[in-house]
Structure 1
Amino acid sequence: MAKKIKPHKDKELEDLIQAIFEEHKERYGYRRITIELRARGYKVNHKRVLRIMRQLGLQCLKFTNRSRRYNSYKGPVGKVAKNKINRRFVTPHPLQKLVTDITEFKCLNNEKLY
């Protein structure tokens, strides 16, 4: 008895997954590719996409948590006042130097009030 040769049912899906993966410069994993396939009208499970990607040897390596670090630095923001007291708080005259903490309020148009 000869085995029946079954037609490859995932061939179209494999080609589409390969195309999406290359279209997004190998930055999409199986989750994002599943979302992209659903947006294009295919009803597909994420496990099936993962299995096909493993068979094809597709793996997202360019866009991982190791490749990008969190950095909240936005450059110099606001104006820095000159240090006129230079930590010399003692004076011979009373009420000559008065200092306080500064409270900052953000207003419209990125303006600040102190």
Structure 2
Amino acid sequence: MQRRNTINERISLIYFESKQRYGSPRITLELQSLGYKISRITVAKYMKQLGLRSKLSKKFKVITNSNHNYLIVENVLNREFVVKTPSKVWVSDITYSAS
């Protein structure tokens, strides 16, 4: 029981250090590199009992096309966002959805 508690603590530690991205295969490799003799199946079972699931990250996809002939407005604000009078500077942002 002590060994299982220790392994569960290690699994949780590795899981959160990896920003919740590691699944049972990587956590198993980490544990084995620390000297624990444990299978991936056992790690997966412990992770399920602990309610730990790896977060899948999507590959970064470039959606901005910089090769265009549209008008490019001069940067007059020059990142000086603090203004002295109201309605002196207005800014906006466009968020694209990659569908």
**1:34 aligned to 2:24?**
no
Which residue pairs with 1:56 in the alignment?
50
Q: Which has the higher contact order (CA 8 A, sep 6+)?
A: 2
Of 5, 8, 12 in structure 1, the residue corresponding to residue 6 of structure 2 is 12
Change beyond 3 A, Cα 1:13–1:24: same
**1:69 aligned to 2:59?**
yes
Q: Which has the higher helix share?
A: 2
TM-score, scaled to structure 2: 0.56
**Which letter does structure 1 place at the counterpart of 2:51?**
G
**Which letter does structure 2 place at the counterpart of 1:25?**
K
Q: Distance in 2 between matches of 1:23 and 1:69?
A: 21
Give the share of equivalent positions with the same residue, in percent: 35
TM-score, scaled to structure 1: 0.49
Q: Distance in 1 between matches of 2:61 and 2:2?
A: 47
Q: Distance in 2 between matches of 1:18 and 1:69?
A: 25
Q: Distance in 2 between matches of 1:31 and 1:15?
A: 17
Structure 1 unaligned runs (5+)? 1-6, 73-114
* Aligned-residue CA RMSD (Å): 2.3
Give the greater-gyration-radius structure (CA): 1
Q: Distance in 2 between matches of 1:56 and 1:50?
A: 10
Q: CA deviation at 1:71?
A: 5.4
Q: CA deviation at 1:35?
A: 0.6
Tell me how many residue pairs correspond in the alignment: 65
Q: Distance in 1 between matches of 2:59 and 2:12?
A: 28
Provide the secondary structure at the position in 1 that maps to 2:20: coil
